[in-house]
Amino acid sequence: MNIQTKFLGAIDIEERNILTFPEGIPGFEEYNKFIIIPLNETSPFLTLQSIDNAQVGFMIASPYAFKPNYAFDLTQSDVVQLNIEQPQDVVVYGILTLRDTLVNSTINLLAPIVVNEKQKLAKQIVLTNVEDDLLRYPLKVAEGSVK
Amino acid sequence: MLVLTRKIGETILIGETIEVKVVAIDGEQVKLGIEAPKTLKIFRKELYEVIQQENKDALHHQNLNVLDEWQ
């Protein structure tokens, strides 16, 4: 199947890799079908692309590249909704907001994308009772060595 | 919008499975207790709106050039 994407032009995808977001994504509730495509072979960055609208394509990444100790519990409702049978079927991503500089760019760790790879079901969940400001977690902390 | 008056300790039922109870009132703050099926997610509405807005921002701020600096 051939689709138009925001970052990678027209590409061929395997239909079996299409993810279903039963509730859509907050702010984009009308889109339910997405596919995750690596941006290139070497970087940890991927795109979460709507199948139905080329303009709806997010940049995402694994949270652990930015916050190695990132962890949360899935609620019973998430486990049921995503039909999760075993933890190893679950993959987690964060949506990136890439502003003018790397230091101003952030990953949303308050509302991670949780994917059940086995069932191809996904959801952006919202964590509650978290201490840090995880909504805009910096990709890189400002420090002297960063230009 | 349906508006109901309730006192502390009183409850409303939404359908047959969702119960909302007024637990305490302190000035402008109302503490609610909610009993609902575990599959139902309950949020403060502001939190959901914050996530919606952050997703919209994410779609508008996609300066891939900054990723070149990341290692």
Q: Which helix (H) or strand (E) holds A11?
A: strand A9-12
State the best of B38, B48, B70 to mutate against chain A, taking most chain A CBs within 10 Å: B70
Residue A21, C-beta contacts closer than 8 angstroms, at least 6 positions apart: A31, A32, A33, A34, A122, A123, A124
* H-only helix segments in chain B: 45-60
- pTM surpassing 0.80? yes
By the CB < 8 Å criterion, does B50 face chain A? yes
B71 touches chain A (CB under 8 A): no
Compute the half-sphere exposure of residue B19: CA atoms within 13 Å on the CB side of its CA: 7
Q: Which of B38, B50, B59 has the CB atom closest to A135's CB atom?
A: B50
A68 at interface of B, judged by CB pairs closer than 8 A: no
Q: From A104, which residue of chain B is nearest by alpha-carbon distance?
A: B66
Digitized pLDDT (tens) for each residue of chain A, 147 residues in all = 999 999 999 999 999 999 999 999 999 999 999 999 998 887 889 999 999 999 999 999 999 989 999 999 998 889 999 999 999 999 999 999 999 999 999 999 999 999 999 999 999 999 987 766 899 999 987 665 444
Burial class of A86 by CB neighbour count within 10 A (0 to 12, 13 to 18, 19+): exposed
Q: Which of B48, B62, B69 sits opposite A26 (nearest CB)?
A: B48
The answer to whether A5 contacts chain B (CB < 8 Å) is no
ipTM confidence score: 0.91
Whether pLDDT at B38 is above 90:
no
Quote the CA–CA distance of A38 and A47 in Å, as a whole number: 6
Q: Which residue of A has its CA nearest to B63?
A: A98
In the A/B pair of chains, how many CB contacts fall below 8 A?
A: 94
Q: Touching check for B59 and chain A: CB below 8 Å? A: yes
Nearest to A58 among B38, B41, B58 (CB): B58
Q: How many CB atoms are located within 10 Å of the residue B19 CB?
A: 14
